[in-house]
Amino acid sequence: MSKVYISPSILSADFANLERDIKLVENAGADWLHVDVMDGHFVPNITIGVPVVASIKKVASMPLDVHLMIENPEKYIEAFAKAGADILTFHYEAVSDVKGIIELIKSFGVKAGMSIKPKTPAETVFPYLEDLDLVLVMTVEPGFGGQKFMAECAEKIPLISEKAPKNLIIQVDGGINAETARICTCYGANSLVAGNYIYKSDDIKAAVKSLL
């Protein structure tokens, strides 16, 4: 089986102890750090922005997997790239020029990801699979951690996987735990984001391992 990249979401961490909580998942063997950026417009919540990403970059050794849940993401690509993002994932629903923003992200040497919300069909991503490094299938409505996994959204994974070039990362985000992770990896996902399941666990190392 191919490698599955685990990306804990720091949205569920203690923001007053971010460095400590980043080290916790780093020591637990996580691969990437998932950073949820929300603007209060694209989603009804506000989280963190460029300065926090720049500070995280100084203390994290894992690649930063930055999930932009913002309107007009093209305006902020340069700033997030310079702050140290290694992967920048924008939402299909938030842009008009998909190819343009993919090129823009790549022009900074950053990996380009595109995410789709629960109601956006799998077919939407097909024209861009050759250009993208990552496709993120949301299994909750973006905006908050701790929501319930929507199994019907995971059914998009095999449709995408069937058409995907072999290096494409297919990531899933929302309501991931040991059980839902299994569903997603069986469908062909090779990266899992998990917030509450990892950070609210008593044994973070065991929680990370249980996703594999």
Task: Decide if 4 contacts 26 (C-beta within 8 A).
Answer: no
Q: Compose the 41-80 pattern: x for residues touching ligand DX5 by CB under 6 A, - for all others.
A: --------------------------x-------------
* Binding flag, residue 67, Zn ion (CB under 5 A): yes
Cα 116 to Cα 54: distance, rounded to the nearest angstrom: 26
* Binding flag, residue 142, ligand DX5 (CB under 6 A): yes
Annotation says 36 is catalytic: yes
Question: With CB cut-offs between 5 and 8 Å by kind, which of Zn ion, ligand DX5, none does residue 197 bind?
Answer: ligand DX5
Q: Which amino acid is at 120?
A: T
Of 73, 136, 83, the closest CA to residue 108 belongs to 83
Q: Which residues contact 106 (CB under 8 A, 6 or more apart)?
A: 112
Question: With CB cut-offs between 5 and 8 Å by kind, which of Zn ion, ligand DX5, none does residue 185 bind?
Answer: none
Q: Compose the 150-189 pattern: x for residues touching ligand DX5 by CB under 6 A, - for all others.
A: -----------------------xxxx-------------
* Binding flag, residue 84, ligand DX5 (CB under 6 A): no
What H or E segment, with its residue span, contains residue 82?
Answer: helix 77-83
Please tell me the total number of residues recorded for the chain in this structure.
212
Of 47, 49, 51, the closest CA to residue 13 belongs to 47
Least spacing, CB of residue 164 vs ligand DX5, in Å: 21
Which residues of the chain form contacts with ligand DX5 (CB under 6 A)?
Answer: 9, 11-12, 34, 36, 67, 140, 142-147, 173-176, 193-197
